[in-house]
Amino acid sequence: MPVRRPSGRRWTRHPHVGAAALLPLLAALAAPALAPATPTGVGAHGVVLRDGEPWFPIGLADPPPRRGRTPAGGNALDAVTRSGVDAFRVGPGQGEQWGWADVRTTKPWLRAASRRGAEAMVMLRALGRTGPASRRGLILRHLVRTYREVPGLGMWQGTEEPFWNGVSPRALVWSHATVHELDPGHVRTLIQAGIDATVADLLPYAALVEGQGVDHYPVAYGVADPNLHRVGRWVRLVRRATPSRMVLAVVQICFSGSDDPARSGAFVVPTRRPERFMAYDAILNGARGVFFFGGHAARCHRGVDAAAGWNWTFWRRVLARLVRELGPGRGLNAALARPGTGVGLSADDARVQVATRRVGARTIWVIAAYRGRERAVVRFARLPPGYTRAVVYTEERHVRARDGVFTDTFRRWGVHFYRFRAAAG
C-alpha cells in the first residue's frame, strides 16, 4: 500500500535512486568513529603505562552490574568512577565458562568503561589454558580479534590463581602466546593466590606474561587478630618472581572465608583502618596497581546490597573514601605512578615501612604504614635540605621538619602521608 505524506501527495521508493539519495543522510547521522583502544605496557620499575604515560590503576575485580543502580537510584558505574575507580575486571563470573554469548556481552562492558575514562581487564579464565584444536581455542581467538582495538580494553588476565589451582605453566603457553600474537598492544597478567608458593614456583609463570598479581585475604570469619601485613609480604614475594616488577595487588572486600561456615548468616568484612592498611601495605611492597575483590559476593550482602547485587554498604562505609585518596586527579595518585624517584628517607622503628616519591621539582610525598600493636612515636630522617613543612594528606594537619628530621605518632595499622614542598628559590 502506498505511503502518503502529510500533504496528501503519493510517493513510492525507487530501489536505486532512493538508496543513493539516502547515503549522504546516513553518513551525516552516523556516530563519529571511535578512537582505537588505548595501548598499555610496562615501563621502568614495573609501572603500568597507558598510552605511554604512567598509570596506577585503581580497580574493582567484579564491579557493580553494568546497568545497576546505587541504593539512592544513581548509575552504579558512574558512582564508582566519579570517586576514582578507573579499571574494571570483566568476564564470566567465578565458576563460569566462556561461551559465544559472553563474547558478545564483552563489548558493552568495554564501552561502559571507555565512556567513563576507565579501562577493562578482561578475565580469560579457562580460555587461558586451552589449545588450538578446541572450542575454547576458537572462542579465545575470536574474542581477542574482536576486541583488541575496541576502546575500553586495557589488559588481559589469564587463568585465575594458576599455581594454587594446579595449572602448570606449560598448560598456559598456547593461550598466552596467542593473545600476544593477536594483540601485542595490551598487557597480559596472571593473578596468583597468596598462599603456599615460592619465588621458584612462580617464576615460570612470569615468562608467559608482562606482569603478575597476587590476592591474599587475611580478614576471615573467626580470625580474631589477622596479620594484615601478610598482604605486603605476598606482594613482595610475587614481585621477586616477576622480572618486569609489574605486580597488581587484589585486596579483599568479601571472599569464601568471610562468612560463618555454620551458615548462621553472619559474616565479617574489613573496617576502614584494616582495609586502608592492606592497600598501602601492598603499595609499599611494590604493587603497581590495586584492585578490590568481592563486592559482588552474595555471602556478604544484606538488605539493599542483596537487592542491588553489590556491596554498597561496604562502599559507603569503607571503600569510597579510600578510592578517593588513591584515585586519578589526586596528587597522591601521580606519586604512586612514579616509583624510583624517592629520597631514601629512614624510620627509627622497624615496624614502620616508608617510601618516598618526587612529583615535579619541589614536591616530595612520604608514605608510611605502621604494624606495631601499641601507639608509637616514630622519627623519620634524611629529608633533603629545604623541606621543612608538610601537609598530612586527608588529616587536615601539618608536621614540621628540622635538619631533615620529623616525628609523628602512629596507632596500629595506621597509615600517614606527608606532602612536603620545598620553599621557592
DSSP 141-200: HHHHHHHTTSTTEEEEE-SSSTTTTT--HHHHHHHHHHHHHH-TTSEEEEEEESSS--HH
Residues 372, 263, single domain; the answer is no
**Does any domain span residue 133?**
yes
**Does any domain span residue 55?**
yes
One digit per residue, pLDDT tens: the chain, 425 residues? 433 333 333 333 333 334 443 333 333 333 344 467 899 999 999 999 999 999 999 999 999 999 999 999 999 999 999 999 999 999 987 767 888 989 999 999 999 999 999 999 999 999 999 999 999 999 999 999 999 999 999 999 999 999 999 999 999 999 999 999 999 999 999 999 999 999 999 999 999 999 999 999 999 999 999 999 999 999 999 999 999 999 999 999 999 999 999 999 999 999 999 999 999 999 999 999 999 999 999 999 999 999 999 999 999 999 999 999 999 987 899 999 999 999 999 999 999 999 999 999 999 999 999 999 999 999 999 999 999 999 999 999 999 999 999 999 999 999 999 999 998 75
Q: Tell me, what's the pLDDT at 35? A: 60
Residues 53, 102, single domain; the answer is yes
Residues 179, 242, single domain; the answer is yes
Q: Tell me, what's the pLDDT at 425? A: 58
The CATH number assigned to the domain holding 401 equals 2.60.40.1180
The strand ranges marked E within 253-333 are 290-293
φ/ψ of 381, rounded to 5, equals -135, 165
Q: Tell me, what's the pLDDT at 16? A: 39
Residues 149, 180, single domain; the answer is yes
Does the global pTM surpass 0.85? yes
Q: Tell me, what's the pLDDT at 162? A: 97
Residues 292, 177, single domain; the answer is yes
Please name the residue ranges forming H helices in 225-319: 230-240, 272-284, 304-308, 312-314
**For residue 338, which of 278, 393, 283, 390 has the smallest C-alpha distance?**
283
Q: Tell me, what's the pLDDT at 95? A: 67
**Does any domain span residue 396?**
yes
**Does any domain span residue 301?**
yes
For the four alpha carbons of 314, 320, 323 and 328, in that order, the dihedral sign comes to positive
Question: Domain range for residue 266?
Answer: 40-336
Last residue of a domain, one of 317, 336, 355: 336
The CATH number assigned to the domain holding 235 equals 3.20.20.80
Cell numbers given for 59? 580497580
Residues 233, 381, single domain; the answer is no
Residues 124, 166, single domain; the answer is yes
Residues 44, 107, single domain; the answer is yes
| CB contact at 8 A, 357 and 342 | yes
Last residue of a domain, one of 303, 336, 369: 336
How do 187-193 and 58-61 pair as beta strands?
unpaired
**Does any domain span residue 18?**
no
Give the total number of structural domains in the chain: 2
Q: Tell me, what's the pLDDT at 407? A: 98
Residues 222, 352, single domain; the answer is no
Give the 3-state DSSP-derived string for 27-57, with helices as H, strands as E and coil as C: HHHCCCCCCCCCCEEECHHHCEEECCEEECC
Residues 305, 415, single domain; the answer is no
Residues 256, 164, single domain; the answer is yes
